[in-house]
Amino acid sequence: MDGAHLYRISLKNFRSIDRKVEVRLDSPVVLIHGQNGVGKTSLLSAIELALTGAIPSMERADPDYKKQLLHQGAAKGNISLELRNLEEISQPLDVQITSENVAVPIILSDKLGKFFSERCYLPQSALTQLLTIYQESDSRVDSLLSRFVSELLGLDRLDALEIGLEPVRDLRNARKIAKSYDDVDREARRLDGELERIRSQLVEVERLLAINRAAIEPALAALGLRMPGDDIARSELQRALASSSEEPDLIDLADKRRQLTVLRRVAAQQARIRDINPSASELTLRTAQQEADAWRTRYQSDIDAALVSVRGYTAILSWKLQIILARLLKLRSTF
């Protein structure tokens, strides 16, 4: 857009606006639409206050109107209006609002401020009167007053647009005028089906997410962690979990389990040893020794005689084996 013009306005806690609102104004036509009480008039009043330092339409009704500009219950508010291609002002027009004061450091010159107040802004009451005059001027379309209202508000272009759109009120005519209507209609139905499919998938994903959340939250609580509430916290949790390795802890746990098994085995052996009665063991040992001595006394003479007999047979067997070995050696030398 060429020439000096409004570029953007940002305001917070001003009149009926209780939050931060930012509106781009660098367009040939800016349409402000909304229900009653949402802040349309407040937005226009903020522009006028930033440019001229006053709101004459409110001042005529209440000279002490500036104490009512701050949104009820707010501690402070502000307006920031950016202009473009205006040599005398190179920075945003900032207005600071409190319950007691309205600070407007920079405003337009008297000439530009007067131009804006007289030509660029109509109070809602005056605008309503002009629209009423235009609507009631059907019998006097060529009157100077109705032509003035039409030119001032650009209603002739709006009427031309309405007349041009009249044929498309009927859907059948719209199909004839717009050759691509059927293609667009088919594409719209396809996109509706795709949207319904994606919605079904979203419902299923949300169901699985609820199940997984119920399983994950106790595990995170056991680790001293909390379920992340947004993507940034989720990414940080993933990095924290990825940076910690469980392998050293698992190896240490396996080693401790082996040590525990050995300790249990040793403890079992110690328990069996503690259960042994030393007196009974000594008595058993003496009894076994006595039985061994008695057996040896009874059978020792028989054992000695048997050993003597075995030695005689062993000598004869050894002599016969030597004769057989000599004959075998002789036969081997013959062949």
pLDDT in tens, 188-232: 889 999 999 999 999 999 898 888 888 888 877 777 777 777 777
Q: In the chain, which ranges are continuous DSSP H helix?
A: 40-52, 56-61, 110-115, 124-135, 144-153, 155-164, 171-177, 181-222, 231-243, 247-275, 278-334
Whole-angstrom distance, CA of residue 55 vs CA of residue 301? 143
Vertex 302: Cα angle to 296 and 305 (nearest 5): 130
The pLDDT value given to residue 210: 85
- Is residue 140's pLDDT more than 60? no
Q: Are the C-beta atoms of 51 and 77 separated by less than 8 Å?
A: no
Whole-angstrom distance, CA of residue 335 vs CA of residue 333? 6
The answer to the question of residue 301 being in a domain is no
The answer to the question of residue 188 being in a domain is no
140 residue type, one letter:
R
Q: How confident is the model at residue 139 (pLDDT cuts 50, 70, 90)?
A: very low
The answer to the question of residue 75 being in a domain is yes
The pLDDT value given to residue 201: 92
The answer to the question of residue 112 being in a domain is yes
The string of pLDDT tens digits covering residues 35-78 is 888 888 888 888 888 888 888 878 888 888 888 888 888 889 99
Half-sphere exposure of 182 (CA within 13 A, CB side): 4
Which range has the top average pLDDT, 2-11, 13-22, 179-188, 227-236? Answer: 13-22
The answer to the question of residue 27 being in a domain is yes
Whole-angstrom distance, CA of residue 226 vs CA of residue 196? 34
Neighbour-count burial of 11, counting CB atoms closer than 10 A to its CB (0-12 exposed, 13-18 middle, 19+ buried): buried
Q: How confident is the model at residue 88 (pLDDT cuts 50, 70, 90)?
A: confident
The answer to the question of residue 157 being in a domain is no
The answer to the question of residue 87 being in a domain is yes
The string of pLDDT tens digits covering residues 274-306 is 666 667 667 777 887 888 788 778 877 877 777
The residue with tokens 């009043």 is: 45
The answer to the question of residue 14 being in a domain is yes
Share of the chain above pLDDT 90, in %: 8
**Total of domains in the chain:** 1
User: Is the whole-model pTM more than 0.75?
Assistant: no
Considering only 100-104, 172-176, 251-255, which range has the smallest mean pLDDT? 172-176
- Is residue 158's pLDDT more than 90? no
* CATH number for the domain that contains residue 50: 3.40.50.300
- Is residue 10's pLDDT more than 90? yes
Q: Are the C-beta atoms of 173 and 167 separated by less than 8 Å?
A: yes
The string of pLDDT tens digits covering residues 219-266 is 777 777 777 777 777 777 777 766 666 677 778 888 888 888 888 888
Per-residue b/e over 214-235, b at no fewer than 16 CB within 10 Å?
eeeeeeeeeeeeeeeeeeeeee
The pLDDT value given to residue 78: 92
Residue 166 has what DSSP assignment? G
Which range of residues forms the domain containing residue 71? Answer: 5-121
